[in-house]
Amino acid sequence: MKRVPGLVSVIIPTYNRASTCRKAVLSVLEQAYKNCEVLVIDDGSQDNTREMVGCLNPRVKYYWQENAGVSAARNQGLEMAQGEFIAFLDSDDTWLPWKLEAQLAVLNEFSEAGMVWTNMTAVDEHGGLIAESYLQQMYTCYRYFNPALHFEISQPLGVVWKNCQLSWTERRCYAGHIFPWMFLGNLVHTSTVLLRQSRQEQVGFFDTELFKSGEDYDFHLRTCQFGGVAYLDVPSVHYRVGAADQLTSPQYMIWMARNDLRTISKVLPAIYSETSLTKKTIRNRLAMSHGWLGDEAFWVDRTTARKHLWASLKLKPYCSKVLMLFGLSLLPEPVSQTIRDMKNLLHMVLHLFFSE
């Protein structure tokens, strides 16, 4: 398909979120940069999403499909996209009006960058502020990753973006190759991303086998594998937290852990050829992933939990939490449950005692 120069294709997957999806679409239509199409991919909704968003604007294209998951919905959007650039927006998030304009300026400045993402602001279900800069709080890999140290290039935002508001002119934007650091954990929130279509063609599509949660990390990791990327250190998205329908809610954690291990396993040959990470660091990352899955599976599938806890210990023998869980996994389930209940009760008592 021939791409339209300058056009941004915004892909919004949704499922039974009519009211929040409408707000998401409106936040795109209100962008300062107007040359965009909005592709709403309805993944089998049974509410009035079609009526809420289908007639908002001629730039909005609504597509309904049988429920197949968020990866399949985003892939349908990628098939339909006509733009030179591609952006993703979850249907419960909203953009600030300058987002696309600022990101296009960054991509224009850093021609080797195939993707740019930003920080984000966390809000509750009613739009109340939780945290102005939430990216580093949500993605724990920022404990190891410092944009100022690990990107090769840095520029003041005021130099790159001519319409930058005065209070942000000294904030930084960065560019470079960070594939090894992305292997340590996700750094990118999908609703903040703007991607060159040429990079997306290299990366391909979202992995539909990564079901329920964690599919975004796989996609962004591969995006970083194929070349340089950029980061804009200002929040351009209002990210809704705390809702039960989010794929980051607790019931999805075992899927996220399972998909994390699958994701990093796929890129291991490429990661071993990188010189930025030591073999010990790579082993520790694998141990963490196996341990996470073992922890999440402990009360769901004891055999699976034991397998991954043991794999974690073989890679990193002296992790006390994994050792404890593996020991508990060898006991009869009622006994291990009693021990864990006693531990939880002790924590509650200590908390009550020291909080008074």
User: In the CATH scheme, what is the homologous superfamily, with its name and number, of domain 4-243?
Assistant: Spore Coat Polysaccharide Biosynthesis Protein SpsA; Chain A (3.90.550.10)
Sort 127 into a burial class: Cβ within 10 Å, 0-12 / 13-18 / 19+: exposed
CA distance 114 to 186: 17
pTM for this model (two decimals):
0.90
Q: Give me the pLDDT at residue 262, please.
A: 95
Tokens of 287: 């141990």
Q: Kindly tell me if the per-residue pLDDT of 339 is higher than 50.
A: yes
The residues with which 231 forms a beta bridge, in sequence order, are 117, 174
CB atoms within 10 A of CB 184: 21
Exposure string of 334-352, with b = 16+ CB inside 10 Å and e = fewer, is: eebeeeeeeeeeeeeeeee
Q: Give me the pLDDT at residue 170, please.
A: 95
Q: Structural domain boundaries of the chain?
A: 4-243, 278-355
Q: Kindly tell me if the per-residue pLDDT of 343 is higher than 60.
A: no
Task: List pLDDT tens digits, range 143-165.
Answer: 989 999 999 999 999 999 999 98
Task: List pLDDT tens digits, range 82-122.
Answer: 999 999 999 999 999 999 999 999 999 999 999 999 999 99
Task: List pLDDT tens digits, range 237-285.
Answer: 999 987 655 444 456 789 899 999 999 999 999 999 887 899 999 999 9
Q: Kindly tell me if the per-residue pLDDT of 350 is higher than 80.
A: no
